[in-house]
Structure 1
């Protein structure tokens, strides 16, 4: 390859192709196959690939591209779910790490699945797993392996259970002596080698629980001090830093803070939701359903509006909107999927990867 095209240039070109194209180009020669399968190439591919979103709709899972070239109407892509669709519904929890999804199934088991290679693996139940258990899915760079984490509540404590794909088994890990913790969201946020959840014991005792995938230890971080009482909060990643989006329902304000390496919070974005809707739309009581950052650090916000007008038809009593906030330009644009987002339930952000992860599907 070096005689025809320098390897550095070949990498730059290949990293901008689709996953389907890369699957074909793996077959060109051994050199290209090794290059595309290399972890450094996967990291580069993820760095420049746009974030898409997995959503549940019409008894299936769809991939939504909010930053697609067509700015008027986006076309959802239905994913080829490898199991019977009756195994999932609107309560399904989906997690993402390096192009692979972890999906909760109705029979209280878990499945890891790469949508583009269509490889999947059923993860055995750790014994006390329930639909209410929190979950985390991430990569441990120390052991060079992928892990699942769930917390099992017992009478006197909560115990972390860790599934290591290298060994194919669960093992009991750290014991947390506070069984009365509750969590804002079941799905953990993965960043570097850590998983994060917003936890609380009351409205005044709220914090971030951090679990280290390498040493299986946990720490507690304080939430931003200026809004400890907010109950509608989401964790995310912005510019490779942990961030928190907080929604105040009464004032209908969204504010976003970014955690620095020191553990301190910097308020990054602050705006009023009321300003996002026309006068005609304000008859609806809009609430925030889902928030997440794209790879360009733009913010995706999904709203569901409620209209209690008894004269309205039942199908007209709820209305959904998806807005993309362009942080650089400080502007908003409405995102449409086939002219309608009704029924779409956003679940998790997703970034494609060309690597078939042998550390998981073995």
Structure 2
């Protein structure tokens, strides 16, 4: 290989190929196989790959690409879920880490699944389990192991339970002293070796719960000061920084802030629903349903609009719109599905990875 092209150039070329092509090129020679299977190559591949979104639709899971050149989604890709689709419903939640999904379905089963390698594994239930239990899925660089996290509520505390794929067993972490904590979203946000959830005990006691996948300890992080009365918030990652996306329904405004290394917050985006008025029907009362980032730090926003009038048919009283806000020039594009977005529920971001994570599926 080095006789014709330097390895760094080969990496850049291969990192721009599809997963299907990479599967073929693994067979070209041992050098290419080792290169494609290397963790460094996987990290570069994820840096280049676009963010797509796993969505629930028609009792199945679909993969949507909303940031391509064509903003009309003609054929959403249905994922071949390895278990009976009858267990997928509105309560299904999906977590993502390095191209592998963790799917929690209605019978309290946790299934870890790589859509491209077709590998999957059912995780044993750690004990008392409800649809309200928060979940986290991430990679611990210290032990070089992937881990699942859930909290099991007890009488006077709530204890973290961590599933280690290396040992194939659950371990208890440090108890959280307040079992009455509630969480904005069931699914945690993974960044570096930490998993984050927005938690609260009251409208004025709101914070971010940060769980360390290496030490199994937790700590509380302050939200932005202007966040304390916000009822709709999401956590995300942009430019490898934790961000919080906030929406004030009665003011129809939302903004995005990123956490700096010092722990302080820096507001980077502030928008009003009125900014979208040229693409939203003003006869509908639109609320923000889902917000996320693309690799270019553009913002994907899904609105659901409700119409209270009686002159429309029932199926016409709800609309769903998806918009792409381009932060570079502060412009909007509407993302359209071939028929309608009604019925789609966006679950999580997804970025492909060429690494077959054998440790997870032992």
Q: TM-score, normalised by structure 1?
A: 0.98
Q: Could you say which residue in structure 2 is the equivalent of 1:257?
A: 257
* Inter-CA distance 164–144: structure 2 relative to 1 (3 Å threshold): same
- The CA distance in 2 between the partners of 1:10 and 1:339, in whole Å, is 41
Looking at structure 2, the residues matched to 345 and 141 of structure 1 have their Cα atoms a distance apart, in angstroms, of: 32
Specify the alignment match of 2:203 in structure 1.
203
Quick one: distance in 2 between partners of 1:248 and 1:213?
32
Partner of 2:284: 284
**Contact 2:139–2:213 (8 Å) recurs in 1:** yes
Q: Aligned residue for 1:60? A: 60
User: Are the equivalent residues in 1 in contact too, given 2:55–2:346 (CA < 8 A)?
Assistant: yes
Q: Is the 8 A contact 2:191 2:240 kept in 1?
A: yes
1:64-75 superposed matches below 5 A: 64-75=64-75
Is the CA contact 2:71–2:334 (under 8 Å) kept in the aligned structure 1? no
Match for residue 294 of structure 1? 294
How far does the alpha carbon of each residue in 1:19-60 deviate from its partner, in whole angstroms, 9 at most, with x for none?
111011111111111110000000000011110000011111
Compare 86-95 and 278-287 and name the one that shifted more: 278-287
Question: What is residue 111 of structure 1 aligned with on the other side?
Answer: 111
The structural deviation recorded for 1:74 is 4.8
What secondary structure sits across from 1:82 in the alignment? coil
Are the counterparts in 2 of residues 73 and 339 from structure 1 also a CA contact under 8 Å? no
Deviates more, 1:1-10 or 1:164-173: 1-10
Q: Secondary structure at the match of 2:138?
A: strand
Q: Quote the residue 1:214 is aligned against.
A: 214
Verify the 8 A CA contact 1:152 1:160 in the aligned structure 2: yes
SS of match in other structure, 1:96: strand
**Alpha-carbon separation, structure 1, partners of 2:31 and 2:60:** 38
CA distance in 1, matches of 2:280, 2:13: 47
Larger mean Cα displacement after TM superposition, 332-341 or 342-351: 332-341
Q: Which SS does the other structure have where 1:281 is aligned?
A: coil
The 3-state SS of whatever aligns with 1:33 is helix
Aligned to 1:237: 237
Q: In the alignment, does 2:306 pair up with 1:306?
A: yes
Structure 1 unpaired stretches of 5+: none
Moved over 6 A (4+): none
Shift of the alpha carbon at 1:340?
2.2
Q: CA deviation at 1:271?
A: 1.1
Equivalent-residue separation in structure 1 for 2:62 and 2:231 (angstroms): 29
| Aligned residues of 1:74 and 1:335 also touching (Cα < 8 A) | no
Name the CA distance, whole Å, in 2 between partners of 1:152 and 1:259.
29
CA distance in 1, matches of 2:165, 2:211: 18
Q: CA deviation at 1:280?
A: 7.2
- Counterparts of 1:30 and 1:280, CA distance in 2: 54
Q: What CA distance in whole angstroms lies between the structure 2 residues aligned with 1:288 and 1:71?
A: 20
Tell me the equivalent position of 2:319.
319
Q: Does 225-234 or 136-145 show the bigger shift?
A: 225-234
What is the match of residue 166 of structure 1? Answer: 166
Q: SS at 2:16's partner residue?
A: coil
Per-residue deviation, 1:212: 0.3
Deviation at 1:122, TM superposition (A): 0.2
d(CA) in 1 for partners of 2:251, 2:317: 22
Query: Equivalents in 1 of 2:71, 2:132: separation in Å?
Result: 38
- Report the equivalent of 2:41: 41
For the Cα contact (< 8 Å) 1:74–1:338, is it kept in 2?
yes
Q: 1: distance between equivalents of 2:278 and 2:317?
A: 18
How many residues were matched structurally? 362
Change (3 A) 1:279 1:54: closer
Give the aligned partner of residue 19 of structure 2.
19
Deviation of 1:339 (Å): 4.2
| Partner SS for 2:208 | strand
Q: Is the 8 A contact 1:65 1:74 kept in 2?
A: no
1:283 partner SS: coil
Q: Work out whether residues 305 and 319 of structure 2, in 8 Å CA contact, stay in contact via their aligned partners in 1.
A: yes
Normalising by structure 2, report the TM-score: 0.98
Indicate conservation of the 8 Å contact 1:66/1:74, yes or no.
Answer: no
Return the offset for 1:244. 0.4
Native 8 Å contact 2:64 2:73 kept in 1: no
Deviation at 1:344, TM superposition (A): 1.1
